[in-house]
Amino acid sequence: MNAQGREPLAVFGAGWVGLVTAACFAELGHEVTVRDVVPEKVERLQNGEVPFFEPGLGELLERNRDRLTFTLDAADAAEAAELVFVCVDTPPTYSGDADLSRVWTVIDELPQLDRRSILVMKSTVPVGTGEKVRAALEARGLSHIGYVSNPEFLAEGTAIENFMNPDRVVVGAFLESDADRVTALYEPLGTTIVRADVASSEMIKLAANAFLTTKISFINEIANVCELVGADVVKVAQGVGLDHRMGPHFLRAGAGWGGSCFGKDVSALKQLAGNSGYQFQLLAAVIEVNELQKRRIVQKLQKHLGRLRGKRVALLGLAFKPNTDDMRDAPSLVLASRLLAEGANVRAYDPEARPGELLQGVALCDSTLEAVTGADAAVIVTEWNEFQTVATPEIRDAMRRPLIVDGRNLLDPEATRAVGFDYEGIGRAASPLSALPETPERELAD
Ligand code: UGA
């Protein structure tokens, strides 16, 4: 540690978590060596290029260039550091468990360090991984290396803000002195530090993502019931979320959750429970509800258009959420496949995502106008800001049929209908309440 309390750090894995972590610690004044196994990626980073889209990351890396080193050499990186952050990915295996092979590679690659460095796990791992890593370090004669679980809670698109202004930082350690050293790194952020044992820290990460997905699947089911009884889920979420015991966040009904983390982490927790002898039934339902939710858009289109064979559908947004180009596990992928399977002619536009091979059979467009021209329906799949103003006379006139299915409840239903569109949201009464016929369902709702 130098006189200003700054430690030389290493970050293994120049993916999204690793690069954000490295850039933010550099911004806090630390010297950071970033190590990755992909030569082209390291070369691009050395040349000042950012390999993916994350708001503010390019500027942060550039501003801290003097404190950042990018290398392929694991030994160099580890030897230069007091604390080694593990930020490698842990993708799902066929069984739904987390694949830890990249974590084990990092352990295998550590050189024979003679001082007490600390391995800090940011990758999302099953509960029990810390114990296994400790055993693996002992087996390699590295029992003097400390281990700390320090899960990340960064959301794509707001990752730098999440790192610099976190709700909390979780530090799970076997030794208090190791926890002290990691805690000290985060002290400048002035946030609550939750100190825990390693297993609890690992569980906090999995439970957090499981709870967030549960909230979303819950509000999506409420939305589906709202459609049957003539209620508006946006109002319902507002009324429920103002209760501080529940909170307003993650109550946006829509076309389902996606992204590289939620699906993998929820499945990993479900499998972890199963492998330990407990059937986590709630999570099974949370996952199932989400799969069905992505497909409901197809039913909504069928309701208006009948058979979809030969119908032209424009998908607005492909990324799993706005402000990212990430399409991993995006609801758009399932939706596009279902539409193609129904025989629809699918066109798509996203401001950032470039699906490449992922979306075979979908015509990619350079603008909203190009995508919707001649379309029988436009579906808002990702709530990019620019789609807020999609309901214009120009767009209406360009479409063969002015139907908007708003998979993210981005638009105001009445204002959209006033421009002459048919509008269908998620969990919003399909027509103004006064126009609904007196159905048995409505009587039930009363
Ligand atoms: C998520 C968590 O929010 C982070 O805290 C966590 O660190 C990260 O996973 C991870 O484990 O690495 P992220 O996947 O980037 O972050 O994205 P979110 O903003 O959580 O959104 C995930 C999905 O949920 C998106 O598809 C989004 O559209 C959907 N969502 C979110 C809803 O459908 N409704 C909501 O109310 C909120």
What pLDDT, in 10s, does the model give residues 219-242? 999 999 999 999 999 999 999 999
Phi, psi for 284 (deg, rounded to 5):
-60, -40
Q: Which atom of ligand 1 is nearest to the CA of 331?
A: 26
pLDDT, position 97: 84
Q: Which atom of ligand 1 is nearest to the CA of 124?
A: 11
CB atoms within 10 A of CB 341: 11
CB within 8 Å of 268: residues ≥ 6 apart: 90, 92, 96, 97, 98, 124, 126, 206
pLDDT, position 53: 86
Q: What is the pLDDT along the chain (446 residues), one digit of tens a residue?
A: 655 567 899 999 999 999 999 999 999 999 999 999 999 999 999 999 998 889 999 999 999 999 999 999 999 999 999 999 999 999 988 888 889 999 999 999 999 988 889 999 999 999 999 999 999 999 999 999 999 999 999 999 899 999 999 999 999 999 999 999 999 999 999 999 999 999 999 999 999 999 999 999 999 999 999 999 999 999 999 999 999 999 999 999 999 999 999 999 999 999 999 999 999 999 999 999 999 999 999 999 999 999 999 999 999 999 999 998 999 999 999 999 999 999 999 999 999 998 888 889 999 999 999 999 999 999 999 999 999 999 999 999 999 999 999 999 999 999 999 999 999 999 997 544 344 444 443 333 33
Name the residue with the closest Cα to ligand 1, atom 1.
155
Ligand 1 geometric centre to CA of 220 (Å): 15
Number of C-alpha atoms within 13 angstroms, CB side, residue 423? 23
> Which residue ranges have their beta carbon within 6 Å of ligand 1?
124, 152-156, 209, 212, 216, 250-252, 254, 257-259, 261-262, 265, 320-321
SS3 of 395, please?
Answer: helix
Ligand 1 geometric centre to CA of 413 (Å): 25
Catalytic: 365?
A: no
Ligand 1 geometric centre to CA of 209 (Å): 8
Q: Is the pTM of this model over 0.75?
A: yes
Question: What tens digit of pLDDT does each residue of 417-441 get?
Answer: 999 999 999 999 754 434 444 444 3
Ligand 1 geometric centre to CA of 408 (Å): 14
Best residue for ligand 1 mutational test, from 220, 257, 260, 267 (most atoms within 8 Å of Cβ): 257
CB within 8 Å of 328: residues ≥ 6 apart: 258, 259, 260, 320
pLDDT, position 1: 60
Ligand 1 geometric centre to CA of 259 (Å): 7
Instruction: Classify residue 433 by its DSSP letter.
Output: G
Best residue for ligand 1 mutational test, from 209, 290, 325 (most atoms within 8 Å of Cβ): 209
Using the CB atoms, write b or e for 277-303: b if 16+ within 10 Å: eeebeebeebbebbeebbebbbebbee
Name the residue with the closest Cα to ligand 1, atom 8.
155
Indicate which residue of 24, 87, 226, 261 is catalytic: 261
